């Protein structure tokens, strides 16, 4: 049999427009994936509640990854093989790779004590404040606060304070990643989650899948490093994230979902042709 093709994608600034959160320009490529039977696996810093809403809008029924690799959610019955490390909840098999949110908040509280007034996490903000900070609607901001494995935060004067924050995180066995916000997480990232999902498909099919990955920010680097065809999507102004450098990196010719659609269509047509 031919190798299955998988597409892993970030959301904000990649499949979703950074300002409007629309995926409208990506509809032609989304249609092609659906017609070709190519799974679209969302791999994001967003919460389960946020992703469920977006998957419904997309008509997506494939596995997904939340909170920077905090957990992989697989719809029950999706795979024919058993997932030994998974727990069952709300119609999903869930493989948890991250640290509990309560543990993360405990460490974050100590960080705020060390750097008073310098850090503000989503847990400190009201729904209205999250909405204003992100541009999300009130309902979307409420879903963004339903964290399970990751605390997004704003850091005043990163040049002066980031090293101290990283040191505190690492001494507690946690890590810092950076996208639109800083994120305090456990020892998880998008790359580990991508490897796990690839392995599940490989065990199901008996053959290694070919993989496409798309992102736009530093926290997408682990995702891009673990796929066969890594695609970097343009940021506003036509620029690309300068910290992401790979020999085989594909630069999507367009911002957000516009570039996403072009790159996905070209790669999917090439790999299925």
Residues known to be catalytic: 10
Distances (CA, A) of 101 to 70, 148, 185, 234, 245: 10, 5, 9, 32, 32
Long-range contacts of 199-203 (CB under 8 A, 24+ apart): 200/63, 200/74, 200/79, 200/81, 200/83, 201/4, 201/6, 201/39, 203/81
Coil, strand or helix at 203? helix
Separation between Cα atoms, residue 243 and residue 190, nearest integer Å: 17
- Of 26, 20, 13, which Cα lies nearest the Cα of 60? 26
Query: Between β-strands 87-89 and 92-96, what pairing exists: parallel, antiparallel or unpaired?
Result: antiparallel
Token representation of residue 220: 């997408």
How does DSSP assign 98-116, residue by residue?
Answer: S--HHHHHHHHHHHHHHST
Residue with tokens 């620029």: 239
- Per the document, the length of the chain is 273
């Amino acid at each position: 049999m031919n190798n299955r093709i998988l597409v892993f994608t970030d959301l904000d600034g990649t499949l979703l427009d950074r300002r409007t959160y629309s995926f409208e320009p990506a509809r032609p490529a989304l249609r092609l994936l659906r017609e070709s039977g190519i799974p679209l696996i969302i791999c994001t810093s967003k919460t389960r509640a946020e992703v469920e809403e977006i998957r419904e809008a997309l008509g997506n029924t494939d596995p997904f990854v939340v909170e920077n690799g905090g957990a992989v959610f697989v719809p029950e019955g999706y795979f024919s093989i058993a997932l030994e490390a998974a727990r069952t909840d709300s119609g999903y098999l869930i493989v948890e790779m991250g640290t509990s949110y309560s543990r993360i908040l405990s460490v974050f509280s100590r960080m705020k004590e060390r750097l008073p007034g310098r850090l503000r996490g989503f847990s400190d903000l009201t729904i209205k404040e999250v909405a204003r900070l992100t541009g999300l609607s009130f309902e979307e901001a409420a879903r963004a606060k339903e964290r399970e494995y990751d605390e997004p935060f704003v850091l005043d004067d990163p040049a002066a304070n980031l090293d101290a924050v990283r040191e505190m995180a690492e001494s507690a066995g946690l890590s810092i990643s950076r996208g639109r916000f800083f994120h305090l997480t456990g020892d998880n990232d998008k790359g580990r989650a991508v490897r796990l999902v690839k392995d599940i498909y490989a065990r199901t099919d008996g053959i290694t899948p070919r993989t496409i990955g798309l992102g736009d920010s530093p926290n997408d680097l682990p995702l891009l490093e673990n796929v066969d065809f890594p695609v970097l999507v343009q940021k506003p102004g036509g620029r690309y994230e300068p910290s992401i450098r790979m020999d085989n990196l594909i630069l999507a010719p367009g911002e957000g979902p516009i570039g996403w659609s072009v790159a996905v269509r070209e790669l999917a047509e090439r790999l299925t042709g």
